Amino acid sequence: MNIFQYPSQAEWAALQQRAAQQQAQDVEQRVQQIFEDVRRRGDAALLDYARQFDGADLSAGLRVSPEELAAAAAQVPAELQTAIRQAHANILRFHKAQIPQEERVETMPGVTCWRRAVPVQRVGLYIPGGTAPLFSTLLMLGVPARLAGCPEIVLCTPPQKDGSVNPIILFTAQLLGITTIVKAGGAQAVAALSGGTDSVPAVDKIFGPGNRYVTAAKQLATRYGVAIDMPAGPSEVLVIADESATPAFVAADLLSQAEHGPDSQVILLSDSLLVLEQTKAEVERQLQELPRAEVAAQALTESRAILLRTPEEMLYFSNQYAPEHLILAVRNPEQLAEGVTSAGSVFLGHLTPEAVGDYASGTNHTLPTNGYARNYSGVSLDSFLKKITFQRLTPEGLLNVGPVVETMAESEGLRAHARAVTLRLEALAGGEQ
């Protein structure tokens, strides 16, 4: 990690640049080609991409069979099963508290309005596989999807080289009651979910993180009338650490994001040069102990350690950067947290590693990246619900609000709008109900 000391605000934009943003044009062109291919050839294209990208022969079928699903639990260690069940319980408890209550509001006498939450009918969950199958992400998406009552849930995840799906992902799917599971990953999975194939049902909304190809594919899917949770791309973390921080803790937090993938990014801000230097040394030491050291090392090439003058200046930098994960490793985290305006999820204090949010604290880890935390929230129960408004008028209500609508509609030159009210008012005046 390179250390930058007291950069001017004019230099901040360069320090806040994500590597993925620099490669966007080439990625979008390739994803467009994949979309067109999948929409033209359907399952045949998915089978070809499985051979090309995953080294898997799926000629026996793209769907996970009931037998494969039933056999998964026997391949998952009991200790891990227990941990997954506990994480499931915590995530369920946190998201259950988000269930909206329907409230009826009388805006004028006789005019009643209310809003009802209705589940998205068909949702697609994309779960990354590859070198780190994210079964934890399946919990984060499957729990609120089930809680919302979505009638159709389709899971897409990349196959292993032998054509199977990671048994931990299948065990988690079984725990969630998800049975429609497709062996497809990357942009091609998103393309299939957006238009449908013989094996992949088309969905209304696509959820799930992924690399820059998956992110570009999700954004492209919106052009075909499919909604997405957010543009969730390569993982990132920003840590604000003052002199009270423990360099070993901070280094572990930085590496926990760097090991996600070579295009992940970590940023460290501090008002203490000593903390920056000690953390950098700890990163180099701990890196050697990681099984995914090569991946993390690649991510660190795009990472920065920055010396700033005050906590306020660090927070200002952070709000501009809008990190997916923000760790406040400072003496008074609650006080500093009051000024956070742009972040996916915030972790307060020296004993709150970002890793707990990734797995089991209960909050959702599917979060906006690439600066989208400025205008997107992370996944929640609301992400799987549509809010439909209703209204009903009594005769008294029409008499009260009708003249207001007539006056406004006439002023906008929308005579038919006004007439829709006037005819009813005349009917009431004539004794009709």
Question: Which residues does the annotation mark as catalytic?
Answer: 324-325
Q: Is the per-residue pLDDT at 108 higher than 80?
A: yes
In a shared domain, residues 223 and 139: yes
pLDDT in tens, 339-397: 999 999 999 999 999 999 999 999 999 999 889 999 999 999 999 999 999 999 999 99
User: How confident is residue 24, by pLDDT bands cut at 50, 70 and 90?
Assistant: low
In a shared domain, residues 404 and 355: no
Instruction: Kindly give, in sequence order, each residue whose CB lies less than 8 Å from that of residue 31, ignoring residues fewer than 6 positions away.
Output: 187, 213, 216, 217, 220
In a shared domain, residues 159 and 200: yes
Per-residue confidence (pLDDT) for residue 21, from 0 to 100: 52
User: How confident is residue 62, by pLDDT bands cut at 50, 70 and 90?
Assistant: very high
Instruction: Provide the percentage of residues in the chain whose pLDDT is more than 70.
Output: 97
Q: Give me the sheet containing 385-393, strands edge to edge.
A: 104-108, 111-119, 385-393
pLDDT in tens, 299-339: 999 899 999 999 999 999 999 999 999 999 999 999 999 99
Per-residue confidence (pLDDT) for residue 335, from 0 to 100: 97
Q: Is the per-residue pLDDT at 164 higher than 90?
A: yes
Instruction: Provide the percentage of residues in the chain whose pLDDT is more than 90.
Output: 89
User: How confident is residue 204, by pLDDT bands cut at 50, 70 and 90?
Assistant: very high
In a shared domain, residues 167 and 211: yes
Q: Which residues are annotated as a binding site?
A: 126, 188, 211, 235, 257, 260, 325, 358, 412, 417
In a shared domain, residues 295 and 399: no
From residue 178, how far is each of 138, 142, 146, 171, 396 by CA, in Å? 10, 8, 9, 10, 49
In a shared domain, residues 218 and 239: no
In a shared domain, residues 267 and 415: no
Q: Is the per-residue pLDDT at 298 higher than 70?
A: yes
Per-residue confidence (pLDDT) for residue 173, from 0 to 100: 97
The verdict on residue 373 lying in a domain is no
Per-residue confidence (pLDDT) for residue 20, from 0 to 100: 55
- To which residue do tokens 């999820």 refer? 345
Q: Which residues are annotated as a binding site for substrate?
A: 235, 257, 260, 325, 358, 412, 417
The mean per-residue pLDDT over the stretch 142-152 comes to 98
The verdict on residue 338 lying in a domain is yes
Phi-psi group of 158: left, alpha or beta (phi > 0 → left; psi -120 to 50 → alpha; rest → beta): beta
In a shared domain, residues 53 and 34: yes
Domain count, the chain: 3
Per-residue confidence (pLDDT) for residue 130, from 0 to 100: 66
User: How confident is residue 140, by pLDDT bands cut at 50, 70 and 90?
Assistant: very high
Count CB atoms within 10 A of the CB of residue 238. Answer: 26
Per-residue confidence (pLDDT) for residue 133, from 0 to 100: 79
In a shared domain, residues 68 and 11: no
The verdict on residue 371 lying in a domain is no
* Domain membership of residue 210 as a residue range: 24-231+382-386
Q: Is the per-residue pLDDT at 232 higher than 80?
A: no
Per-residue confidence (pLDDT) for residue 315, from 0 to 100: 98
The verdict on residue 31 lying in a domain is yes
The mean per-residue pLDDT over the stretch 197-203 comes to 97
In a shared domain, residues 260 and 158: no
Global pTM? 0.93
Amino acid sitting at position 290: L
pLDDT in tens, 275-293: 999 999 999 999 999 999 9
For the chain, give the mean pLDDT: 95
From residue 62, how far is each of 177, 214, 372 by CA, in Å? 19, 19, 33
The verdict on residue 143 lying in a domain is yes
The verdict on residue 274 lying in a domain is yes
The verdict on residue 86 lying in a domain is yes
In a shared domain, residues 72 and 217: yes
The verdict on residue 370 lying in a domain is no
Residue 268 sits in a domain whose CATH number is 3.40.50.1980
Q: Is the per-residue pLDDT at 131 higher than 70?
A: no
Pairwise pLDDT comparison (285 vs 235), residue with the higher score: 285
Per-residue confidence (pLDDT) for residue 23, from 0 to 100: 55
Q: Distance between CA 325 and CA 229 in Å, rounded?
A: 17
The mean per-residue pLDDT over the stretch 73-86 comes to 97
DSSP 78-107: HHHHHHHHHHHHHHHHHHHTTPPPP-EEEE
In a shared domain, residues 227 and 238: no
